């Protein structure tokens, strides 16, 4: 059918056509559908207290709106106390996915037999007087030990191959238009992160000494090509403090279940630093990844906008626009990736790639 002769009408029709084409291209660029119907055997894992349900509803709304409403990955909630009916009702109503609730075994949230409780109490008092963050908290230490080497041993976790850690009060600042679990599986990635920062060294004064003892006692467990340079620039003499901020992490649970990691955690556990100092799960996970994994097995999810009270990672450029981000990548008061304290993120990119002939040195 010929176009109308009126120039005005033709102009309007042409404009409508251009806008329609733009809308089509724009919609195809920002996909809200899974690439395929396949899902990975994975879950969100949440360590929580009964009073956390309000903050958790906010966190769940964030991850559901930005990602999980398209995939319905299940949730596993863990608590050292029985979950209240209020907590269960208020969290279960936030998702269409399956939700599991479990109590942590007493032996996973108590002192091991080799720990001197009086010495531990004295050390907590000393650290509190020195103003060390969470220095006087007993429960925080149980949490760090549990997250370091015990959470994946819970019966509810045995059915899963991958996990994504979720916490109260966090925010996801951009859409996630693909499946990070599937990405990790397809690319054989064992550990994923989004923020890397320096540790508060007064919380881990002897951690590296214990790591060096472990390395000396177990040289056969440590591959020649790993990521050690990222945490130690002097060939293992000292620890520079770099660690992945583990309040966000996505991991292949075969890494934590491996012989290497199991022996590493057991060694550190018997050193006593979880209770005599304040060793956190973030440096423990990070140092283990540096010792046992190659660069290609660890992935920086730079496109995932994430906020944990205090700091955020905010993508920039095309990723910021395409994923409907609401954060400001130039705000150095929040975006730690662009601030001095967050240099560890960019230093990760300086880590040299593993020679191709050695990339299959680690098999799980």
Q: Is 8 helix (H, G, I), strand (E, B) or coil?
A: helix
State how far the Cα of 32 lies from the Cα of 137, in Å rounded to an integer.
Answer: 43
Contacts of 80 (CB under 8 A, 6+ apart): 103, 104, 109, 142
Apex 65 CA angle, 62 and 66, nearest 5: 80
Q: Is 47 helix (H, G, I), strand (E, B) or coil?
A: strand
Which residue in 249, 271, 277, 296 is the catalytic one? 249
Nearest CA among 107, 90, 91 for reference residue 99: 91
Distances (CA, A) of 204 to 150, 157, 271, 306: 20, 29, 12, 26
CA 72 vs. chain centroid, Å, equals 19
In contact, 76 and 166? CB cutoff 8 Å: no
Contacts 24+ apart (CB under 8 A), 48-52: 48/77, 48/78, 48/79, 48/87, 48/168, 49/79, 49/81, 50/79, 50/81, 50/83, 50/84, 50/86, 50/87, 52/87, 52/168
Residue 249 falls in the annotated catalytic set: yes
In contact, 282 and 244? CB cutoff 8 Å: yes
Contacts of 259 (CB under 8 A, 6+ apart): 221
- Which residues are tagged catalytic? 249
């Amino acid at each position: 059918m010929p176009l109308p002769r009126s120039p005005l009408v033709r102009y309007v029709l042409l404009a409508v056509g251009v806008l329609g084409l733009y809308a089509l291209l724009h919609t195809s660029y920002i996909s809200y559908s899974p690439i395929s119907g396949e899902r990975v055997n994975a879950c969100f894992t949440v360590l929580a207290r009964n009073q956390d349900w309000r903050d958790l509803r906010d966190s769940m709304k964030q991850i559901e709106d930005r990602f999980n409403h398209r995939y319905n990955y299940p949730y596993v909630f863990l608590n050292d106390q029985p979950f209240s009916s209020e907590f269960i009702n208020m969290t279960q109503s936030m998702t269409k996915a399956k939700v599991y609730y479990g109590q942590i075994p007493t032996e996973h949230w108590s002192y091991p037999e080799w720990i001197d409780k009086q010495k531990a109490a004295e050390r907590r008092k000393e650290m509190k007087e020195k103003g060390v963050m969470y220095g006087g908290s007993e429960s925080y230490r149980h949490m760090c030990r549990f997250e370091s080497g015990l959470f994946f041993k819970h019966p509810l976790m045995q059915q899963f191959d991958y996990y994504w850690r979720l916490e109260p009060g966090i925010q996801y600042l951009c859409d996630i238009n693909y499946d990070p679990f599937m990405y990790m599986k397809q690319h054989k990635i064992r550990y994923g992160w989004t923020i890397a920062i320096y540790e508060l060294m007064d919380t881990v004064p002897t951690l590296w000494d214990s790591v060096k003892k472990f390395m000396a006692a177990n040289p056969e467990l440590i591959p020649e090509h790993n990521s050690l340079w990222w945490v130690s620039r002097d060939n293992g003499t000292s620890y520079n403090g770099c660690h992945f901020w583990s309040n966000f992490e996505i991991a292949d649970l075969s890494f934590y279940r491996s012989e290497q990691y199991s022996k590493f955690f057991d060694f550190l556990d018997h050193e006593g630093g979880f209770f005599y100092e304040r060793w956190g799960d973030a440096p423990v996970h990070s140092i283990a990844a540096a010792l046992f994994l190659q660069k290609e097995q660890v992935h920086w999810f730079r496109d995932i906008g994430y906020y944990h009270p205090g700091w955020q990672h905010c993508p920039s450029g095309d990723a910021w626009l395409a994923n409907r981000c609401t954060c400001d990548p130039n705000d150095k008061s929040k975006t730690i990736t662009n601030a001095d304290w967050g240099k560890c993120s960019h230093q990760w990119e300086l880590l040299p790639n593993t020679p191709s002939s050695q990339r299959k040195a680690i098999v799980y």
